[in-house]
């Protein structure tokens, strides 16, 4: 514990990111030009469709160890277990209560952290400027991970510092293919290995 904790000013001015909304009227107009059979869709319906689809994607990523493969070969998203940060992470609630700096420790998950990973380097087909793509989880996705992780933290892939994420995904795909082969292999129920005839 380190003394001299200064409570954060909750009324201080904030620096916020610019939010770029993709589901706009311009997007809807371009979409209807490409697919005229959907001309009756409203922008609210498009937002509802996108929200439902994205919710199903991140829900699958949260509840499955291997994560989810994005459509059209855009990459993979999965939740990984990581070592704690080397920097001093402050638990603000406890620090404000005791008026001194208290380090945040994840006792529920044996001091491990959850991180959401995105990679497109393990995709089967490369696409232009793929190294410039990045992923930022929605608030609902992050909250779902924070809720589920303390209970199921051992289920997720443990990611070591400095290791390539695409190698993890390649290994997961190999083990998945092996497991599918094992499941498809069935022994005839009448087979008896001790029957020599």
Q: Which of 144, 162, 151 minimizes the C-alpha distance to 77?
A: 144
Distance CA 133, CA 120 (A): 8
User: Whole-model pTM?
Assistant: 0.70
Least confident of 46-55, 98-107, 181-190: 181-190
Per-residue pLDDT, averaged over 76-91, amounts to 82
Q: What is the pLDDT of residues 9-43, one digit of tens each?
A: 888 888 887 877 888 889 899 989 999 998 998 99
Question: What pLDDT does 121 receive?
Answer: 76
Distance CA 176, CA 42 (A): 40
Question: What pLDDT does 82 receive?
Answer: 86
What residues have CB less than 8 Å from 96, skipping those under 6 apart? 5, 7
Q: What is the pLDDT of residues 98-157, one digit of tens each?
A: 888 887 777 777 778 888 988 887 666 677 777 778 888 888 999 999 999 988 888 888
Question: What pLDDT does 192 receive?
Answer: 64
Distance CA 51, CA 22 (A): 12
**Is the pLDDT confidence value at 190 over 80?**
no
Look-up: residue for tokens 């945040």? 104
Please, what is the average pLDDT of the chain? Answer: 80
80: how many CB neighbours lie within 10 A of its CB? Answer: 19
Within a 13 Å sphere around the CA of 125, how many CA atoms are in the beta-carbon half? Answer: 7
* Furthest-apart CA atoms within the chain: distance in Å: 86
The sign of the torsion formed by the CA atoms of 128, 71, 144, 169 equals: negative
């Amino acid at each position: 514990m380190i003394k001299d904790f200064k409570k954060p000013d909750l009324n201080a001015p904030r620096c916020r990111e610019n939010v770029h909304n993709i589901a706009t009227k311009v997007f809807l107009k371009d979409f209807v030009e490409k697919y005229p059979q959907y001309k009756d869709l409203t922008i609210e319906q498009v937002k509802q469709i996108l929200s439902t689809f994205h919710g199903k994607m991140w829900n699958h990523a949260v509840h499955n160890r291997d994560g989810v493969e994005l459509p059209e070969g855009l990459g993979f998203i999965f939740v990984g277990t990581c070592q704690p940060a080397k920097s001093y992470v402050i638990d603000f609630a406890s620090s404000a209560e005791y008026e001194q700096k208290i380090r945040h420790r994840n006792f529920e998950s044996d001091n491990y952290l959850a991180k959401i990973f995105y990679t497109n380097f393990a995709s089967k087909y490369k696409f232009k400027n793929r190294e410039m793509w990045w992923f930022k989880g929605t608030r609902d996705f992050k909250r779902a991970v924070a809720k589920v992780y303390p209970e199921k933290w051992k289920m997720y892939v443990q990611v070591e510092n400095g290791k390539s994420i695409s190698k993890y995904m390649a290994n997961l795909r190999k083990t998945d293919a092996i497991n599918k082969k094992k499941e498809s292999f069935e022994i005839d129920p009448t087979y008896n290995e001790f029957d020599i005839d």
